[in-house]
Every structure is written in structure tokens, then in C-alpha cells.
Amino acid sequence: MSRILLVVLFVGLLIMISAAQEQGTVSDSVASTIQQDSLSFPKTHFWPALIRSAIVPGWGQIVQEHPGHAVVFYGLSVYLMYNLVWNYHQYEKTKLYTYKQNTYRFAIEYAQVYTSNILDVVHNYIYHEDQPWPGQMFSDIPVKSPWGAVTRSAMMPGWGQLYNEKYIKSVIAFGICLDFGRKVYIYNQKYQRSGDKYYRERRVVNSWYLGLAYMLNMVDAYVDAYLFKFDDIMKMTMVYSPSDKTPLLGVHIEF
């Protein structure tokens, strides 16, 4: 049954890609006539988003400004891949049929989520549900996507800071989360071998530190995205006024 479902999903993918190519020419001509008197926003490209989701599930949804979809597909794929690898290693150690069966089951479920992730990118492109972030400095909308930055930092600590062009922060956020994650792993291994409560306590403490650093990493990405280029905008809107008390008559223009 699972194999039949995969075949159906792949066939549907091919049909949707062909439909997207046919509809693209029509939608471009219609969009050019509709948006003559309106603000035009940049449109995402189909193949870059599709290739990114083929590499990392959820990456293409980030390009299409669907952070919710990105979190779902990325989270499910990581969860299923982890269980797949874990059950495979357990099968290699014990040769129990249960682990082998679980490995096949998680592999099939991962393939289904992976294919659904590809189909979601195609669906968003066909029905124009992607909403590219406008790069307008003087708009009420931030120049960077705050939730896009949060999603990136949720997928990998420091990625949101990299998106916000905060390169030093990106290295710091990634390094801190990596260090706490390394300590959690080391203390867990020591506790599994010795059963010492000290190692268990250190594992718990560093797990809390890791969670806190992970949350702060996402909050920082959101704030930096919302305030992106804020200093430049404030410099542009500064008005010079002379120090003396001479009456002046002028015009103030504000964007």
C-alpha cells in the first residue's frame, strides 16, 4: 500500500510540474496587466525553491515564505530520519527482526514526507500562494522576514542571524548551541556507561542551557530581522536644525 502511494505521489508531482510550466506563461501575462497601477513584488522562482526542498525538506518553503510548512516538513523529516538510523544501528547490533521492520517503516514514512514536501513547493508555485518578502526600506513591512529568520534559526542555530547579515552573531549562536549539545552528548554517554548520578545531573543542566540558548537564538533572529536597516533609516530621516534662535520657514518631507 505504501509503495502504491509513493507511485501516485510521484505521478502527481510530474503532472503538477507540467501544469506549472503551462500556467506560468499565462499567469505572467495576466500579472503584467493587473499590476500596472499597483506595487509589484518580486516573485520567487520555481526551480531554486524545488532544488532546496530536494536537498533539505522545508528549505524551499522558506524561500516561498511559508515558515509554518517549513517547520512541519523539516521537523518530521529529522524525526523520521533519526528513528530510521537508530533502528538500523540496533538491528546491526542485535539482528532482531523488530528493528529491521521498524527501519523499513520509518524509511517509507520518510519517503512519503519527503515527497509531500516536494509537492507542497509545486502547489505553492502553481496557485501563487508564495508571498516573497518585499525589500522596501521605507515600508511599514520590515526589510527582512522576521518569521523567516525564526524558521531558519529553528532549523539550524545561527542561520537566522546569517540571513539577517549578522555574521558574528551567527557564529556565536551556532557555537554556543553546538557546545551545549556536545556536553549533553558527552555526559549522556558517561551516564550510560557508569550510571553515576553526577553525569545525569550535568546532562540535565546542560540540556536546559541548550534549550535556553536555542530559544534566545530564535528571539534574536526575529528582533534583528524586524529592525533590519533601522539605523540607516533613522540616519536618513534626521533633520538638521541650526543652533541659533533665528526664525525659519521651511518644508519637511517625510516618507
Question: What is the pLDDT of the chain when averaged over all its residues?
Answer: 76
| pLDDT exceeds 60 at position 4 | no
Q: For residue 137, is it within any domain?
A: no
123 and 175 share a domain?
A: no
Can you tell me the mean pLDDT for 163-174? 91
Looking at the structure, tell me whether residues 10 and 123 fall in a common domain: yes
User: Hey, what amino acid is at 94?
Assistant: T
Which grid cell is 248?
525659519
Q: Is the pLDDT of residue 154 over 70?
A: yes
pLDDT at position 35: 43
**56 phi, psi to nearest 5 deg:** -130, 115
Judge whether residue 230 has pLDDT over 70.
no
Q: Which pLDDT score, from 0 to 100, does residue 67 have?
A: 82
Q: Quick one: 2 and 119 in the same domain?
A: yes
Q: Which residue has the cell 505572467?
A: 28
**End position of a domain, from candidates 132, 149, 175:** 132
Residue reference for cell 558517561 = 190
76 located within any domain = yes
Which pLDDT band holds residue 3 (cuts at 50, 70, 90)? very low
Span 13-67, pLDDT tens digits: 444 444 444 444 433 443 443 344 334 444 556 888 889 899 999 988 888 878 8
Range of the domain at 88: 1-22+44-132
Q: pLDDT for 187-213, tens place per residue?
A: 998 998 888 889 999 999 999 999 999
What CA–CA distance (Å, rounded) separates 53 from 61?
7
Q: Is residue 148 part of a domain?
A: no
176-182 average pLDDT score: 93
pLDDT at 205: 93
Closest of 206, 66, 65 to residue 132, by C-alpha: 65
Question: Do 58 and 99 sit in the same domain of this protein?
Answer: yes
Q: What is the DSSP letter of 245?
A: -
Rounded mean pLDDT of 1-5?
45
pLDDT of res. 214:
92
Cα–Cα distances (Å) from 74 to 56, 96, 121, 246, 250, in that order, read: 7, 30, 13, 63, 56
**Do 124 and 166 share a structural domain?**
no
Q: What is the dihedral of CA 214, 171, 145, 142, to 10 degrees?
A: 110
CB-CB contact of 163 with 148 (8 Å): yes
Same domain, 127 and 172: no
> Which three cell numbers mark 226?
524586524
Task: State the helix-helix crossing angle for 67-94 and 146-155, rounded to 10 degrees.
Answer: 10
Assess whether pLDDT exceeds 80 at residue 138: no
Number of other CB atoms surrounding residue 141 within 10 Å:
12
Q: Are 1 and 80 in a shared domain?
A: yes
Contact predicate 220/226, CB 8 Å: no
Per-residue pLDDT of 70-125, as tens digits, reads: 889 999 999 999 999 999 998 998 889 999 999 999 999 999 999 999 999 998 88
User: Is this structure's pTM higher than 0.85?
Assistant: no
Decide if 64 contacts 124 (C-beta within 8 A).
yes
Q: How many CB atoms lie within 10 A of CB 227?
A: 15
What does the pLDDT read at residue 251? 57
* 167-184 CB burial, b ≥16 within 10 A, e <16: eebbebbbebbeebbebb
Cell numbers at 29, concatenated: 501575462
